[in-house]
Amino acid sequence: MVEDQLRARGIRDERVLAAMGKIPRHLFVEEHLRDSAYDDNALSISEGQTISQPYMVALMTELLELKGDEKVLEVGTGSGYQAAVLSELAIEVFTVERIETLALRARKTLERLNRKNVRVFVSDGSVGLPEHAPYDAIIVTAAAPHIPHEYIDQLKMNGRLVIPVGSRFSQILYKITKTPDGTTTITSTPCVFVPLIGKEGWDDEKGVYH
Ligand code: SAH
């Protein structure tokens, strides 16, 4: 997976490649999907949600530019896989999930893997997680209809936000950096994520937007 799917497609951050080589992805998928855990695609994790394709996890993680001493927020815990990868690369990881059953399962898996620097929360992450802000980096692993200002507010100066933004079924991955003058934005790649549902996201799974 690391060589064929990640390095061969241009992932260069050695720390990201090492973290993805270390975290056992098969423990984050349902038992009947274990044989497919390292395949080059997203997989279902129940509740209609998905664990992202390995390449997308690597790309988003690389864009966060983590050096090791950061405090990171992930929105959309899902299986907990992305949070586990982040836990190898940062000091402290806060991850928030709106569906309690997923959050509980992710917490269990992360405990089993002794990921002591990850904390899982159940709440609407479309408004961030203000009680633990500010963050050096925020990664949103669900599709947003727009960029919630809360994320920028909750970033430290020079902090990075990586977020897929667009319509319900197709988005563009953005990297936004908070600067003294406001923000700078880089567009990365087209992508498809499940919807961010909540106050600053979509109304429901069908993608109704208030
Ligand atoms: N990062 C995950 C995959 C994310 S799938 C992994 O590594 O497995 C996207 C997740 O975002 C889903 O579990 C979905 O329930 C969650 N989600 C959607 N809207 C949310 C919101 N407003 N707050 C928190 N989580 C949300």
Q: How far apart are CA 96 and CA 128, in angstroms?
A: 8
**Residue 87: active-site member:** no
What is the pTM for the complete model shown? 0.97
CA dihedral 78, 119, 99, 44 (to 10 degrees): 10
Q: Cα separations (Å) of 146 from 47, 111, 121, 167, 191? A: 24, 33, 23, 9, 15
CATH number attached to the domain at 2-191? 3.40.50.150
Helix extents (H) in 64-181? 81-89, 100-112, 149-153
How many other CB atoms are found less than 10 A from the CB of residue 34? 13
CA of 33 to the centre of ligand 1 (A): 19
Confidence of residue 204 (pLDDT cuts 50, 70, 90): confident
Give the pLDDT confidence of 112-149 residue by residue, as tens digits: 999 999 999 999 999 999 999 999 999 999 999 999 99
Q: Are 209 and 145 in contact, with CB atoms under 8 Å apart?
A: yes
Q: Residue written as tokens 């700078």?
A: 184
Cα radius of gyration rounded to whole Å, the chain: 16
CA of 185 to the centre of ligand 1 (A): 23
Comparing 205 with 48, the larger pLDDT belongs to 48
126 touches ligand 1 (CB under 6 Å): yes
pLDDT of residue 57: 98
